[in-house]
Structure 1
Amino acid sequence: MDPPAFDESMPTGGNPLEVDVNAQYSGFEYHYIYLVFCGFIVWLIIPGLGFLYGGLSRRKSALAMLFQSLLVAAVITFQWMFWGYSLAYSRTAGPFIGNLAHFGMIKVGFAPSIGSPYIPDLVFCLYQLLFCACTVMIVVGGSFERGRIIPSLVFGFFWATIVYCPIACWTWNPNGWLYNLPSLDFAGGGPVHISSGWSALAYAFVLGKRKHQGEKSYGKPHNVSLVFLGTMFIWFGWFGFNGGSGLNGTLRSMLAVFNTNTAASCGVLGWVLVDYIKHRRRFSIVGACEGAIAGLVGITPAAGYVSVWFAALIGFLTAIVCALLQDINKWIRIDEGLDVFKLHGIGGMMGSFLTGIFATSSISSLDGATLASGGIDGNGIQVVKQLAEITAISAYSFVVSCALLYILGYIPGLHLRVSNEVESMGMDLDQFFDEQIGD
């Protein structure tokens, strides 16, 4: 049975008062029902990041990270409906960015989407909205314990517009230049992780180092239980993140879910092994959580392209590399306290590179349509294409993020950083009602 076809004469899928807009998906409902379910669990990544970042913060600055996870979801929902979806996924996009054909959700309805003919536009739009919100929340980690909340949210809105949306267009829009190169990115190694890692590094670089290095709590998580809880939310949400990125309910998507769990588990093992050797046979719960996230990041671009044992290897190697770079902030002299660059930037680059090596068409073809080969099939040039993706996204994200932050810093009322006094006493007391903060 052929999939539904997009009809330019009915860009919204038809008038529901005149036709049954559900009829075109008869027999294919399981595809979009599956994607809706994946979207529900992807949403959990957003509060998961709030818990993770809040647990890693000092107690007197933890609420700022929790609060921003909620506000980022709200701001990016508006941004995506306003123009974000159109800039990333308009059907008439150029190779670098879309246009405003869907500005304000114009013509976004029940017709087959640009991502998959099995998925209605509205479902695809919601799913991709959650990707954007997760990415912006990752970037916000660069403001750790010294970035003001309102400028951070303004930055998130414009960062999504001029950084995330163009990169998503490059990578996933059929008109995008990386899509047609092609680089292989199943679920967001470039648009989500490489871009957020480099942008968080830019955020920390522009803000400068924290001033409370002499305090006893400097660099120590105030609540390891929150770190653990946040990591579990993220791990669970990643099943939808990777599992839904095939935009169908085929066996390829099921394998992507299995690969996700495999890589995260092997990431835990890799990081714990490094900690065990470095710290004289002692363990770290935070380290194990970081290992899980490193494994999840590493497998993101590869989940629908590699076999389960290569997924295990990708998760294990990514976690080991990230764990061995524990002191990278000291080496580059940038105070990026939440390790966003290390886990997402470096982890994303590792995953994208290894995707080029281990991708095989025997896995991608499990959806019945995709033939994507990599180095393991003898397609060595794919590694070069992956390096092109890594280089372009890294450079664009860092440079544009720095420029945007410097511009915002000169706008009255949007100075990026709190005062030294506020940083010392904690952001929560300064930016929230006193009655909400316990002693």
Structure 2
Amino acid sequence: MSLNLTGTPTGTGTGGDTLNTDLNTQFDMANMVWAATSAALVWIMVPGIGLLYSGLSRKKHALSLLWASIMTAGVVSFQWFWWGYSLVFSHNTRGNGFIGTLEFFGFKDVLGAPSAVSSLPDILFAFFQGMFAMVTGILMVGGACERARLFPMMVFLFLWITIVYCPIACWTWNGEGWLAVLGSLDYAGGGPVHISSGHGALIYALILGKRNDPVAKSGTPKYKPHSVTSVVLGTVFLWFGWFGFNGGSAGNATIRAWVSCVSTNLAAACAALTWMFIDYFRFGRKWTTVGLCSGAIAGLVGITPAAGFVPVWAAVIIGIVTGAGCNFAVDLKSLLHIDDGLDVYALHGVGGAIGSVLTGIFAADYINDSAGSYAAPIDGGWINHHYKQVGYQLAAICATVAWTCVVTAILLLILDRIPFLRLRLRPEEEELGTDGAQIGEFTYEDDEMYIPEPVRSKASAQVPHPGEAIDDKIGAGSNSDEGTSSDQPENPEKVTV
């Protein structure tokens, strides 16, 4: 039986009845393949950030940051389905472009009608943009490094994406958003992704307070990364995935998408070298691997708002300036006395702001128009003699920073006053490590790591090492005919992992 596809796409709602209408005729298949591939590339960035964060942390907290990346993929995917996509990309907004409606609540009618990017159907655009929300979420929770309770983190993440990220993304990327109408330019997320996550992480770290450091009683705690290998692997995932992050943001498979991919790679390379050379002269004349990786990420952040607007040569300048700026911004945590152990603010908050300003300088109308018939004309930046574009960029930065900092602080302070949503680990839990205290599993098997267990009998049970008799382990703590019974053993019961 063949389908009788004689209907005409409606362009609204679901786009038409799939039983009698071929909704695919509205779209170019190559555009859809590239957007879907890009979405998959962006997804791999989420565990990539987990690997990066895990490598930068101490060993006893390493698994919790890998856990956070997979948790973020779960929580934000559900939030995006539930109402996130609708709040950002509904076809109508409320409050003069402040927030979307619940038109697409629960992905209602999200199928084959043209989306906010007319070259893609709603269902594909929702899939692609959901990955951006996930990346923003995992970046932001990095501010809680090594001291946050995990259930409150999940609750906070769901609310933060709803109340902080969704409005900012709507302002910036929805055609009716007030920053879009004002004229600010943000190609792939300098404001909604990086500035918001960087400042959100900064406030999260501020309200949680400094990590307990038994050695340094004052100042910001500093620890060496426990696994530089994980840092490198996480950076590889990020650099690779960023080709989808920026390349896919064109919304089509045009020359503009390929320009943005080349600019992305070049900015990352120049920033990596810049950071490494600065560290060489600042810190002991060593060619540090962590510095090389940090610089690459700074360059990727800086080029994000600019990639589809600026000439390729401008990516060199953006990479160098962002790499240098973020390198020195790392010192701000000591000046601010805020323990941002993973430098989320320096890399993403500062890097995103630098990239946004440089977008206002180097944006070129001819690069934007390389998208051909898909292009929405722009006036460009300073190189097009459109000097007030930098003012629009600064307005977007200030609005994003103000909304993120104020709303994040209010949200965290409210949650921390709800008894079962206390944000921070207790001192003894922090000393044990988030992995042992909150997860009960570890990145590495270590005989010296213990999980406290409740006492269930008068006998103290301990899991034997290979080759040891179980009776020897249990007999040492059990009652004998010559001993006296006790409701509690002399030592707390523990299980070796």
- TM-score of the pair, normalised by structure 1: 0.96
Q: What displacement does 1:437 show?
A: 5.9
Deviations 1:263-301 (A, max 9, x none): 000010110110111124311111111000000000000
**Cα deviation per residue 1:137-169 (whole Å; 9 max; x = unaligned)?**
000101000011111111110000001000000
Q: Which of the numbers 97, 113, 116 marks the counterpart of 2:115? A: 113
1:277-326 CA-partner distances (Å, limit 9, x unpaired): 11243111111110000000000000001111101110111001111233
What residue identity is the alignment partner of 1:323? N
Q: Does residue 338 of the first structure (1) align with residue 338 of the second (2)?
A: no
2:26 equivalent in structure 1: 24
For residue 227 of structure 2, the aligned residue among 195, 208, 223 is 223
Matching residue of 1:43: 43
SS in 2 for 1:245: helix
1:223 and 1:11 map into 2 onto residues whose CA distance is 50
- Cα contact 2:99–2:171 (8 A) shared by 1: yes
Amino acid at match of 1:352: S
Distance 1:399 1:213, change over 3 A: farther
* Structure 1 counterpart of 2:272, from 268, 271, 275: 268
Change in 2 beyond 3 A, CA 1:6/1:65: farther
Question: Are the counterparts in 2 of residues 144 and 338 from structure 1 also a CA contact under 8 Å?
Answer: yes
Q: Report the Cα distance in structure 1 between the residues aligned to 2:195 and 2:233, rounded to whole angstroms.
A: 24
Give the alignment's TM-score, normalised by structure 2: 0.85
Q: Distance in 2 between matches of 1:326 and 1:127?
A: 31
Find the aligned partners of 1:119 and 1:6 in 2 and give their Cα distance. Answer: 14
Q: 2:397 aligns to what?
A: 390
Distance 2:299 2:22 in 1: 44
Match of 1:245 among 244, 249, 260: 249
Match of 2:138 in 1: 137
Deviations 1:375-426 (A, max 9, x none): 1110000000000001000111011001111111112211000011111111
* Runs of 4+, deviation exceeding 6 Å: none
Which residue identity does 1:386 align to in structure 2? Q
**Residue aligning to 1:367:** 371
- CA deviations 1:155-188 (Å, max 9, x no partner) are 1100000010000000000010001111010000
Does structure 2 conserve the Cα–Cα contact (< 8 Å) formed by 1:46 and 1:69?
yes
Amino acid at match of 1:326: V
Q: Is the 8 A contact 1:274 1:324 kept in 2?
A: no
d(CA) in 2 for partners of 1:326, 1:218: 12
- Runs of 5+ in structure 1 lacking a partner? none
1:83 aligns with 2:83: yes
Distance 1:179-1:22 versus aligned 2 partners, 3 A rule: same
Q: Which residue of 1 aligns with 2:57?
A: 57
Match of 1:255 in 2: 259
Task: Quote the Cα distance in structure 2 between the aligned partners of 1:232 and 1:15.
Answer: 43
Deviations 1:112-148 (A, max 9, x none): 112x222111000000000000000000101000011
What amino acid sits opposite 1:108 in the alignment? Answer: V
Output the CA distance in 2 between the equivalents of 1:370 and 1:19.
29
Partner residue of 1:191?
192
Report the number of matched residues: 431
Mean alpha-carbon deviation: is it higher for 136-145 or for 371-380? Answer: 371-380
Percent identity, aligned pairs only? 48
Query: What does 1:289-328 correspond to in 2, within 5 Å?
Result: 289-328=293-332
2:478 corresponds in structure 1 to: none
Provide Cα deviations, 1:331-354, integer angstroms capped at 9, x if missing partner: 011111100000000000000001
For residue 420 of structure 1, what is the aligned residue in structure 2? 427
1:375 partner amino acid: W
Partner residue of 2:440? Answer: 433
Higher relative contact order (CA 8 A, sep 6+): 1
Alpha-carbon offset, residue 433 of structure 1: 2.9
Paired position in structure 1 for 2:71: 71
Distance 1:7 1:338, change over 3 A: same
Give the distance between the partners of 2:186 and 2:392, measured in 1 at CA: 11
* Cα distance, 1:432 vs structure 2: 1.9
